[in-house]
Amino acid sequence: MQVSLVFSLLTSAVLATANYSNYNAAYLDTPLKVSDGLQIIGGFNALRNQFPYQVSVQRLWILTYSHVCGGSIISSNWVLTASHCTTSGTYRVVAGIVLQTDENVFGQQTLAVSEIINHPLYPETDAVAPNDISLLRLSRSLIYVENVQPIPIPHRGYVAEGDAVLTGWGLTRPSALTIPNHLQFAYLPIVPGEECDNILNDLLGDRNPFDVELNVCSGIRNGGESACSGDSGGPLVNNGLLVGVVSWVLVPCGGHNAPTVYGKTSAFTDWIVQNTNGEVEPAIL
């Protein structure tokens, strides 16, 4: 099962004092069950129509589809997600929902994925790596309504600063066995690239895969906000722009001083424009 990309904690040492040799890179499976009453780590329940660009990327398991990752509508025919979410399998996208159990909600649309374009430099192995970004072409065009809308991408070189909002159906605590039914959101501070790199170097040493040019980080404001399994591929939005695609975190999710790492959308703007044949263009600020 390919889902949220994370670093596995091999000992129970506290993050702030752990030796970086205790950490290894690995994939972590997303649970297939959905539960009510759960919240993102440090997050809140989203209102209906609050994040109309958020979609659920679902994979076919035998006879049923289950949520594996998030994604963002960037045009009526394209969704942006993470490459580690889509290395193999049959996928569909569900748009216009706030609950995983939503059925026949006004504007709700379920579309097959007709083409997957993973970044050519993504290694498609179990190793945590940059270039973790993917385009999903939909089998037909989305119909824009209040709860189904695109999010613009930034121009090449855009630098995100200040606060950003993370959304997703990922685990709400590291030990959870189910994902929340209700879409979650949290406001997080953007961590400057060099600062994030230094934090991760302290935790991971020379096995730190963070790339200042290709990744962006969010930090922790109140001691626990974080992406977790099932949030992968989902959006980080800053000033109305899709600035990040959830890629990896440190386990346990929301640990002390541990940032969430995203693919930096502005590093891939030209690639997105080219591979969507110009259908997706960066926002004009």
> pLDDT tens digits for 6-41?
333 222 222 333 444 444 333 334 544 553 433 455
CATH 2.40.10.10 domain position(s) in the chain: 48-150+269-276, 163-266
Q: Distance between CA 189 and CA 122 in Å, rounded? A: 27
Higher pLDDT, 194 or 171: 194
- The answer to whether 35 is a known catalytic residue is no
- Of the residues 84, 134, 231, 266, only one is catalytic, namely 84
How many residues appear in the chain? 285
Structure tokens at 47: 């209102």
The DSSP symbol for 141 reads P
Among 85-89, 163-167, 235-239, 276-280, the minimum mean pLDDT is found in 85-89
What confidence score (pLDDT) does residue 284 get? 84
For residues 250, 130, 166, 233, the Cα torsion angle rounded to the nearest 10 degrees is -100
CATH for 163-266 (2.40.10.10, 3.90.1150.200, 3.30.565.10, 3.40.640.10): 2.40.10.10
Among 119, 132, 226, 247, the one annotated catalytic? 132
**In terms of Cα–Cα distance, which of 209, 228, 211 is closest to 220?**
228
For 63-105, write each residue's pLDDT tens digit: 999 999 999 999 999 999 999 999 889 999 999 999 999 999 9
pLDDT, tens digit (0-9, with 9 covering 90-100), for 232-271: 899 999 999 999 999 988 776 666 667 889 999 999 999 9
Cβ atoms 190, 44 nearer than 8 A = no
pTM: 0.87
pLDDT value at 55 more than 70: yes
Distance in angstroms (rounded) separating the CA atoms of residues 58 and 79: 13
CA distance 271 to 275: 6
132 labelled catalytic = yes
The CATH number of the structural domain formed by 48-150+269-276 is 2.40.10.10
The answer to whether residue 256 is catalytic is no
